[in-house]
């Protein structure tokens, strides 16, 4: 076997270093997340993925669980879970994943009946999620054979901060050591701390188990980024600076995709690009922007995508 020439070795080393640098850059780049499932007229999940705008899409919502209830999925007209018609989205999910879009199942939402009352209940719900949406097996998987990438906590109900910490811990016990990487995300309100997720002693966001936290900077005027009558945006920036201290890998700025998507908090794309993103992208915890939701996203993500990265 011939010895490798010095110049060949140098070329290989340079190539490897370049690949490492590209990987680091890619992994640290911001991306856009959104929610899909709460408007039956918004189009298919595959169409959302095919926009090329999103890194994560949260399928919303599993809004019935805990309290001895049979878990219930509500996709607002897209399909009927009890009759099994939601399995039609299995191939969409798999195609999205093949194209680099991660698909999470979102728990909770504003409407539903859910709570975690004990460790046993947390373990039971976690096992249901594992068997029916993640890497486990069940004869009645609501979204078919597709294996989702993670679980999102959009929690707006419940008793005490510790309830959802128990659920997050139970999910992680099942996903650790799995054949693929599974993610946990959360969507707290921007008022710090969130009433159901924390941070706070014993809370879900004190577990250190969450990869992504998309903070809802809307419908809460005290911490929105919209300037007040004097042009002051300090409420939003102060809230952001609190949230980047949370125990999560990446923090996202959650915004309405249009003026009709929320009561308050919409930021025009040009203002976001010129005024808000430069302030928050300097944080090492910056992960990108979450937009609520796909049904309202008529060009907003396209306008901001290159600046979010």
SS3 281: coil
Q: What value does the mean pLDDT of the chain take?
A: 91
pLDDT in tens, 190-234: 999 999 999 999 999 999 999 999 999 999 988 988 876 666 778
For the beta carbon of residue 104, count every other beta carbon within 10 angstroms.
Answer: 24
- Residue 287 is assigned to a structural domain of this protein: yes
Structure tokens at 19: 């690949």
- Residue 18 is assigned to a structural domain of this protein: no
**Catalytic annotation present for 42:** no
CA angle 73, 178, 204 (to 5 degrees): 60
Determine the angle formed by the axes of helices 119-133 and 162-175, rounding to 10 degrees. Answer: 40
Kindly give the pairing relationship between strand 54-65 and strand 113-114.
Answer: parallel
Give me the half-sphere count of Cα atoms (radius 13 Å) on the Cβ side of residue 226: 18
Mean pLDDT over 105-131 rounds to 97
Q: Which of 276, 153, 212, 269 is nearest to 31 (CA)?
A: 212
Cα distance between residue 302 and residue 121, in whole Å: 41
- Residue 292 is assigned to a structural domain of this protein: yes
pLDDT in tens, 251-267: 999 999 999 999 999 99
Number of domains in the chain: 1
- Residue 19 is assigned to a structural domain of this protein: no
Domain containing 247 equals 31-308
Q: Name the active-site residue from 42, 121, 156, 162.
A: 156
Q: Which of 218, 216, 192 is nearest to 205 (CA)?
A: 192
- Residue 24 is assigned to a structural domain of this protein: no
What pLDDT is recorded for position 234? 80
DSSP 273: I
- Residue 179 is assigned to a structural domain of this protein: yes
pTM: 0.90
Q: What CATH number does residue 257 fall under?
A: 3.20.20.80
pLDDT in tens, 138-190: 999 999 999 999 999 999 998 778 999 999 999 999 999 878 999 999 999 99
Mean pLDDT over 228-251 rounds to 87
What pLDDT is recorded for position 22? 38
């Amino acid at each position: 076997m011939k010895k490798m020439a010095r110049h060949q070795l140098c070329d290989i080393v340079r190539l490897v270093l370049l690949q490492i640098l590209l990987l680091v850059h890619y992994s640290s780049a911001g991306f856009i997340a959104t929610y899909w499932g709460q408007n039956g007229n918004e189009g298919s999940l595959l169409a959302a993925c095919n926009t090329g705008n999103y890194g994560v899409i949260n399928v919303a919502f599993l809004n019935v669980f805990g309290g001895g209830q049979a878990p219930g999925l509500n996709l607002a007209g897209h399909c009927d879970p009890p009759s099994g018609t939601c399995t039609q989205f299995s191939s969409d999910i798999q195609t999205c994943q093949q194209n680099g879009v991660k698909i999470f199942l979102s728990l909770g939402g504003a409407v539903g009946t859910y709570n975690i009352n004990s460790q046993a209940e947390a373990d039971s719900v976690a096992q249901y999620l594992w068997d029916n949406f993640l890497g486990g097996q069940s004869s009645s998987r609501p979204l078919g054979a597709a294996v989702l990438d993670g679980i999102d906590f959009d929690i707006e109900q419940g008793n005490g901060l510790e309830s959802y910490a128990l659920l997050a811990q139970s999910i992680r016990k099942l996903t650790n050591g799995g054949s693929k990487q599974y993610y946990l995300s959360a969507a707290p309100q921007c008022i710090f701390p969130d009433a159901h997720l924390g941070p706070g002693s014993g809370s879900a966001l004190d577990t250190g188990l969450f990869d992504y936290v998309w903070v809802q900077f809307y419908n809460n005027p005290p911490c929105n980024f919209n300037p007040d009558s004097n042009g002051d945006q300090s409420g939003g920036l102060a809230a952001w600076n609190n949230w980047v201290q949370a125990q999560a890998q990446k923090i996202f700025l959650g915004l309405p995709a249009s003026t009709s998507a929320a009561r308050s908090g919409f930021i025009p794309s040009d203002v976001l690009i010129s005024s808000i993103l430069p302030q928050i992208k300097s944080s090492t915890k910056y992960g990108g922007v979450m937009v609520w939701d796909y049904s309202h996203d008529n060009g907003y993500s396209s306008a901001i995508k290159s600046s979010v990265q």
